Each structure stands twice: as structure tokens, then as C-alpha cells.
Structure 1
Amino acid sequence: MQFKKEPRFGRLIPAMVTPFNRDLELDLDRAQELADRLVRGGSDALIINGTTGESPTVFYPQKLELFRAVVRAVNGRVPVIANVGDNCTADTVYFAQDAAKLGVDGFMCVVPYYNKPPQEGLYQHFKTIANAVDMPIILYNIPGRCSINMEGETTLRLAHNCDNIVAIKEASGNLDQVKFIIDNAPAGFDVYSGDDSATLDIMKLGGVGVISTIGNVAPERMKEIINLAAREEWEAAEAANEALLPLMNGLFETSNPILVKEALNLAGFPVGGVRLPLVDATPEQSRRLAAIMREVGVLD
């Protein structure tokens, strides 16, 4: 395998948390500071208001405020990708068209959740969105949150039939499916790991990198792992991955993004708590997390 061409959106894309103030209102100043911190830490692009950004509890007008603020802070240094996915096709189209006016560089769209469409419904959903906007789209397949899996054949139909569907964040956990997509995708279609801990396995199959949770906390460390893999320095990549793996796993002791926000708070870069129905980390969870952060060397 040869990693010759840099992917359109790069290799390390943190799914940025959404900072809140003490009243759990948007903290746009902190969001801009976090975006700058992540860019300076080596991020190649940013996903704004994905699941890690608490998209279910940030309403459409607030999402637009957040996109606008991050675009200004990033100021063209890296692409800003707005999560616009929803389980209503029409709402997603209208919202994407509004977001496109703010200067974002692309969209991420998740598999529709709760209403459980069949594979043809998934195909028509994403094709309708792609036809309605003139911007690149990253698909997001995460059966653990959406209750259904977008099968490899459906992903490939979209990749071949829609020029502006350019990548997928694959979090199915099915490496056979991931390999099938990579092996049969058109040139220029990029497959990202949707789980930090699966990144090396997916890159060994030809994936390009990761849309990352831990990238909020340790972007330099995750970038090192990915760059080693892209150079096919697998032994060094495995060693760097093994050193960071306890934190990759520790951040998911409870529902994301509870602990990634707590990790930033512990690291001296507070981003506030989480909105209900999520709840903040317990003291015990915080202590365990701090111990892991010290173990892997991201907390003094």
C-alpha cells in the first residue's frame, strides 16, 4: 500500500467539542480559542458540532452561530466542516443551504437515526442532499448511535454516483465492510476511521486517517501516530498508538463527550459541562481520567 496523495481534508480531523459557559449557553469566544488551539496542534481540518460537539442539544440557530464563529477564528488555515446531518432529509437540505452561506468548506451528514430507513432510503436521502448543495460531503456511518448500518454497497453507490460525496467516517466496527469500501471506491474517495482506537487498523487497509475524539485533547500525539502510519512506519506507529491507547479507551468509559470535555477541563483548558440529558463526569470518573492522562503523558 502506498499513501501517495494527501486526502482532500487531511488525515487528522478532530470532531470539536462545543464549549458552554456556566449557564450552559454557547461560549463562542472559547469555541474560537479551542479551534485555534486545535489548528496550532496540527489538525488538518475541523468537524464542528458533530456528536462530540453535542449536536442533538445545540439547536439550528446556535449551530449557525457556532459555524460562523469557528470560520472566523480559523480564517482559512484549515477546512471547517459543518455537521448538518439530521434524520429528516428536507430539514438537512434547508440547513445545509443556510450553513453554506457562512463560509464553511464542507459538510458531514450522519446516517438518519431513529426512523430506520432501508438501504434505498439511505441512498435517496444522501443523494438528495448532494444534489441540493455544491459542496463536498462526508458521510457518517455509526450504527451504534443510529440503530442501522449503511452497507458498503450503499456507500459505494453514493461515492460513484455523487461527485460531491467525497469521504466517509466509518464507525461500524466492521473491518470487512471498511475494506470492501476502500477496495471499490472511486479515486479520491477517502475513508476515515470513526474511532480513534481503530485508526491504525483502518489505515493498514488503505484508510486515510481519523475523525477524532482524542484529537481535542492530544492532537499532536494523534497526528504523530497518523503520520507514522502514512509513511508506513508501522512499528513506530504501533508503539505510539499503544502509548496513547489507554486514553483513547478511557474517554469512552461513559457517553461521549462527557469525558473529553472533562479531559480538557483537567488539562487547564475549561470548556464547560454538557447539556442534559447528558450529565457531567462524576468525581470518580474524573479521578480515573486524570490518572490515565498522567499515565500517557498528557497531564502533569
Structure 2
Amino acid sequence: MDYGRLIAAMVTPFDSEMKIDWNQAANLMDYLIEEQSNDSLVICGTTGESPTLTEEEKLKMFEFAVKHANGRCKIIAGTGSNDTAHTVHLSKEAEKLGVDGLLLVAPYYNRPSQEGLYQHYTAVAEAVSIPCIIYNVPGRTGVNVDADTTIRLSQIDNIVATKECADLDQLTEIVAGAADGFRVYSGEDNMTLPALAIGAHGVISVASHVIGKDMKTMIDCYLQGDVRAAAQMHSKLHPIFKGLFFCPHRVPNPAPVKHALRIRGIDAGGLRLPLMNVTEEEGRFIESLFD
């Protein structure tokens, strides 16, 4: 399964009553695919506010995304949780709906051992036949999927990739030691080019909601051997990469990118509590990134 180089972790649009806005979900998908050059979409990941979506909402989103994409891009379902049995259940249900793969966040809060992490991912992979992508984001989960564990998991046939938010040292170890064909995706927009330079395949991105076309150009320049042009594009985009995550008060994702989408004419609505919309000051800062 080829998910491409640029994958958007899609926000979930809400209406004024904080219910999923299906019309805007369709508009957003069209925009991400056709105008921002994303190769695949992650549905109901962290950026999609998965912690506050019900299981029913997630399954409806998966089904909707598969139908609306209609083969124009791959659909990856965010089905991970800190409960292995529930992750297996939701992953099997997502597979029935025709998704092209699963994004499985490392179990959060309960802080399993490395062997526990290995057994968690193995259980999910054995329960489904579609490809699985590890999602390692220690800053959110409180646990790191060590390089050795990821390398070990890469030997399982349908564990095909990892989204890594660890440092370049860990990415380097995984790229060097993983099974042939196993792909490493940066989970940090600002690390896209450095990650490519050490052998990563691409990025699972937030910024590609609003600068996806430029990110694709940067990636293509690097792959075509024009490192100077890629570096220049990285420097141009870096303030946006950084600004979407380090607003004046370090506003949690996806509040900044939802505001940035409004600047682009796509209203994805507000955020469900406990997340909050950006303040006026934060909104002005985000708007300044695109002046």
C-alpha cells in the first residue's frame, strides 16, 4: 500500500452545535486533496479531536471519508487507544468500512512496558488484514515506542510504517534497522526535510491543511536532488510550521490550524471542550504567518 509522501491528519469540522458538519467535511476533503496536494488523509487522529469523538461518530467519519474520497486518496483511520481490546474492536469495524489503513497511537496514560507495547500492536495487526501504522508521540502519550520495539514490530507483515514524533536519533535508528519496505513518516512538520535527509519516506502533517502544495514542492525538490531549493522552501515554510504549534501561549493542536483554515476560506468550526478556540491575540499571530 502506497500512502504517498504527504499525508494530512485531517481536522474534524463541527457545526454551531458542535456536531460533525458533514457538508464542511466534504468541502475540506476536496480542498485537502485537490488544492493542497495531500496523497492520503488520516481521519479521527489527534488533529481530528479523537479523544472527544464517540465510537459511533468515528465509524460514521470513516465510512463517509471512504465514500467521499472515492479513490482520489487513501483513507487511514485513527483507531488507536490505551485499551488493546477496544483498539482491536474499532480497527476491525474500520476495516469493514473499507479504509486503506490504520493509524495506531501508542497506548497513553497507562504507560505500558516495551513488551506491552509490542504485544498491543501485535494483537491489532493479527486481528486485521489491512496495513497498520504505529504512531509514536511521547509528548502526548507519556510513553516512547523505543527504536528497538519499532524495529521488532516492522517484521510483522501488515505493520508497514511509523509516524514518529521522537528525535532524529530515534528516526535514524529505525530507518537503519527496520525491515525492508517499512516506511518512516515524520510526525513533526518542521522536521520533514531533516527526516527525509536521513531516509524517512514523508510526513503525516498538520500544516498541509494550509501549505500542502508548498510542502509537496519541497519534498519533490529534495527527491529530485535539488537540495538547495528544498532547503530554501524549508526556510520559507518554517515560521508556519513553528507558528501553528508555538502560538504565543503554545495553543494545543488543532485550534491554530482550524483558525488558519478560516483564513483560507474553510470554516471547520470550533473545538470540543476541553480544547478551546484561539484568542483574538493568538488569531492575529496566526494571521501574521500568512501575510
TM-score, normalization: structure 2? 0.97
Q: Which moved more, 1:65-74 or 1:89-98?
A: 65-74
| 1:90 to 2:81 alignment | no
User: Aligned AA for 2:109?
Assistant: Y
CA shift for structure 1 position 232: 2.7
**1:39 alignment counterpart:** 33
Contact 1:71 1:80 (8 Å CA) reproduced: yes
**1:24 alignment counterpart:** 18
CA shift for structure 1 position 104: 0.7
| 1:227 to 2:224 alignment | no
Report the count of equivalent residues: 286
| 1:200 to 2:193 alignment | yes
Give the Cα separation in 2 of the matches to 1:58 and 1:231.
41
CA shift for structure 1 position 227: 1.2
* Aligned-CA RMSD value: 0.9
Give the Cα separation in 2 of the matches to 1:113 and 1:22.
30
Runs of 4+ in 1 over 4 A off after TM superposition: none
Give the Cα separation in 2 of the matches to 1:17 and 1:227.
25
Structure 2: where are the runs of 5+ without partners? Answer: none
Give the Cα separation in 1 of the matches to 2:223 and 2:271.
35
TM-score, normalization: structure 1? 0.94
Give the Cα separation in 2 of the matches to 1:61 and 1:197.
34
Contact 1:217 1:263 (8 Å CA) reproduced: yes
Structure 1: where are the runs of 5+ without partners? Answer: 1-6, 295-300
CA shift for structure 1 position 267: 1.8
Give the Cα separation in 1 of the matches to 2:218 and 2:140.
27
Question: How much identity, in percent, do the aligned residues show?
Answer: 45
Q: Which moved more, 1:11-20 or 1:96-105?
A: 96-105
| 1:107 to 2:102 alignment | yes
Secondary structure of 1:85 counterpart: coil
Contact 2:133 2:162 (8 Å CA) reproduced: yes
User: Aligned AA for 2:65?
Assistant: V
Contact 2:104 2:132 (8 Å CA) reproduced: yes
CA shift for structure 1 position 138: 0.7
Give the Cα separation in 2 of the matches to 1:18 and 1:227.
28
Give the Cα separation in 1 of the matches to 2:22 and 2:181.
34
Aligned with residue 260 of structure 2, among 258, 263, 269? 263
User: Aligned AA for 1:182?
Assistant: V
Give the Cα separation in 2 of the matches to 1:236 and 1:42.
19
